[in-house]
Amino acid sequence: MALQAKDINEHTKWQDVTEGLQIYEPATSKRFMTGEWRTSTPVIDEKSCRQCLLCVPYCPDSCIPVKKGKRLAIDLDHCKGCGICVKACPFGVITMKEGR
Protein backbone atom coordinates (compact mmCIF):
# COMPACT_ATOMS: atom_id res chain seq x y z
CA MET A 1 0.00 0.00 0.00
CA ALA A 2 1.36 3.42 -0.96
CA LEU A 3 2.06 6.02 1.68
CA GLN A 4 -0.12 9.08 1.84
CA ALA A 5 1.61 12.35 0.92
CA LYS A 6 1.37 13.62 4.50
CA ASP A 7 3.44 10.65 5.67
CA ILE A 8 6.38 11.22 3.28
CA ASN A 9 9.31 13.11 4.77
CA GLU A 10 13.11 13.14 4.89
CA HIS A 11 13.11 9.91 6.92
CA THR A 12 11.00 7.93 4.44
CA LYS A 13 12.91 5.06 2.83
CA TRP A 14 12.89 4.90 -0.94
CA GLN A 15 11.51 1.37 -0.76
CA ASP A 16 8.38 2.70 0.93
CA VAL A 17 7.30 5.13 -1.80
CA THR A 18 5.62 4.45 -5.11
CA GLU A 19 7.66 4.29 -8.28
CA GLY A 20 8.35 7.83 -9.45
CA LEU A 21 6.92 9.08 -6.14
CA GLN A 22 3.48 9.09 -7.71
CA ILE A 23 0.80 10.49 -5.41
CA TYR A 24 -2.68 9.04 -5.81
CA GLU A 25 -4.57 11.17 -3.31
CA PRO A 26 -6.09 14.56 -4.25
CA ALA A 27 -5.13 18.07 -3.10
CA THR A 28 -1.51 17.48 -2.13
CA SER A 29 0.36 20.00 -4.31
CA LYS A 30 0.62 22.69 -1.61
CA ARG A 31 2.48 20.25 0.66
CA PHE A 32 5.34 19.72 -1.81
CA MET A 33 7.77 22.56 -2.54
CA THR A 34 8.08 21.88 -6.25
CA GLY A 35 9.91 25.17 -6.86
CA GLU A 36 13.16 23.43 -6.07
CA TRP A 37 12.98 21.88 -9.56
CA ARG A 38 13.29 25.33 -11.09
CA THR A 39 16.42 26.19 -13.09
CA SER A 40 15.24 29.72 -14.00
CA THR A 41 13.31 32.18 -11.85
CA PRO A 42 10.81 34.84 -12.95
CA VAL A 43 11.63 38.35 -11.78
CA ILE A 44 9.07 41.16 -11.86
CA ASP A 45 10.15 44.78 -12.25
CA GLU A 46 7.83 46.02 -9.51
CA LYS A 47 8.18 49.71 -10.46
CA SER A 48 7.15 49.04 -14.06
CA CYS A 49 4.39 46.50 -13.37
CA ARG A 50 1.01 47.96 -14.28
CA GLN A 51 -0.95 45.42 -12.22
CA CYS A 52 -2.94 44.45 -15.31
CA LEU A 53 -3.02 40.85 -13.98
CA LEU A 54 -2.76 39.40 -17.48
CA CYS A 55 0.02 37.09 -16.31
CA VAL A 56 -2.14 35.47 -13.63
CA PRO A 57 -4.43 33.21 -15.71
CA TYR A 58 -1.51 31.94 -17.80
CA CYS A 59 0.49 30.49 -14.90
CA PRO A 60 -0.08 26.72 -15.12
CA ASP A 61 0.73 26.29 -11.42
CA SER A 62 -1.29 29.25 -10.08
CA CYS A 63 1.89 30.76 -8.63
CA ILE A 64 0.88 34.38 -9.17
CA PRO A 65 -1.52 35.20 -6.35
CA VAL A 66 -3.91 38.13 -6.35
CA LYS A 67 -5.33 39.87 -3.31
CA LYS A 68 -7.73 42.81 -3.40
CA GLY A 69 -7.19 43.25 -7.14
CA LYS A 70 -3.38 43.43 -6.87
CA ARG A 71 -0.78 40.91 -7.95
CA LEU A 72 1.34 39.67 -5.07
CA ALA A 73 4.84 38.19 -5.18
CA ILE A 74 5.28 35.01 -7.20
CA ASP A 75 5.00 31.85 -5.11
CA LEU A 76 8.55 30.59 -5.67
CA ASP A 77 7.94 27.56 -3.45
CA HIS A 78 5.79 26.14 -6.25
CA CYS A 79 6.90 28.00 -9.42
CA LYS A 80 8.61 25.62 -11.85
CA GLY A 81 10.26 28.40 -13.89
CA CYS A 82 8.46 27.64 -17.15
CA GLY A 83 8.55 31.29 -18.29
CA ILE A 84 4.98 31.39 -19.53
CA CYS A 85 4.40 34.52 -17.42
CA VAL A 86 7.22 36.26 -19.34
CA LYS A 87 5.46 35.57 -22.64
CA ALA A 88 2.06 36.56 -21.19
CA CYS A 89 3.18 39.98 -19.91
CA PRO A 90 2.37 42.52 -22.64
CA PHE A 91 4.62 45.14 -21.03
CA GLY A 92 7.82 43.08 -20.71
CA VAL A 93 8.17 43.61 -16.96
CA ILE A 94 8.73 39.92 -16.18
CA THR A 95 12.09 38.42 -17.06
CA MET A 96 13.80 35.16 -16.22
CA LYS A 97 17.07 34.89 -14.32
CA GLU A 98 19.20 31.76 -14.22
CA GLY A 99 19.02 29.77 -11.00
CA ARG A 100 16.58 29.63 -8.14
Q: What is the pLDDT of residue 2?
A: 66
Q: Where in the chain is the domain with CATH 3.30.70.20?
A: 33-100
CA dihedral in degrees (41, 87, 28, 17; nearest 10)? -60
CA distances from 50 to 44, 76, 80 (A): 11, 21, 24
End-to-end CA distance of the chain: 35
Per-residue model confidence as pLDDT tens digits over 35-77: 888 899 999 999 999 999 999 999 998 899 999 999 999 999 9
Tell me the Cα Rg of the chain: 17
Return the pLDDT at 13: 86
For residue 3, how many other CB atoms are within 10 A of its CB? 15
Top CATH class, 33-100: alpha beta
Q: Please state whether the predicted TM-score (pTM) of the whole model is above 0.75.
A: no
Q: Is the pLDDT of residue 96 over 70?
A: yes
pLDDT for 1? 59
